[in-house]
Structure 1
Amino acid sequence: MRLGEKVRMSQLADKVLPLPNEIYPVILAQLNSSSIARFRSLLNAIQYERPCVNGNDIKSMGYKPGPYFAPALEALQRARLDGLVRNRQEELDFVREYLAAYEGAKESV
């Protein structure tokens, strides 16, 4: 995988997050200037672009806690990194759509 523009930030994050932080300077030393900018942007996004929505918000939407919470929040983090969601309302809509696939996840009221 190259640090070209066609690679999504979430894909890069999948490769970078398992690495120890001490390796980042070594990676930076191997990159050209545009890739350095993209790598730094990735590190900033990982650190600062956290979703606003959490498990409590999902419960407030009427969903029962279950094994689908973690994948929904992981998908939301990926969408946030990729710029597919930019604010709280978009995050809520994303999670609602994601969880619609889980039969029985919604509590009957």
Structure 2
Amino acid sequence: MSHLTTHVLDAATGRPATGVGITLARVADSGEVTPIAEGVTDTDGRLALGPDRLEDGVHTLTFATGAYFAAREVETFYPAAIVTFTVAGDGHLHVPLLLSPFAYSTYRGS
């Protein structure tokens, strides 16, 4: 299993957000951002990304929300939702996204 998983729920429809492009990246102390992995959510809105173990430090998940809503002909305020988080240790990381056209929220899942 990947060290990191995510799940995207479209709160406007109450259904999993299928086909959301997501990029996982590492943020160096200098601020340089290096992509690590990318993928697209499955029919249940889920995606496992990255290696078995992420390096400790700051990472980002960039959710391509603009493309997701454009494909559904839905106006949105956010072209992307970027979640920045810190990796420390070996525990599994789950970073879900609750999405609507004009708002989003996230939390550290289990």
With the length of structure 1 as denominator, give the TM-score of the two structures. Answer: 0.26
Larger Rg: 1
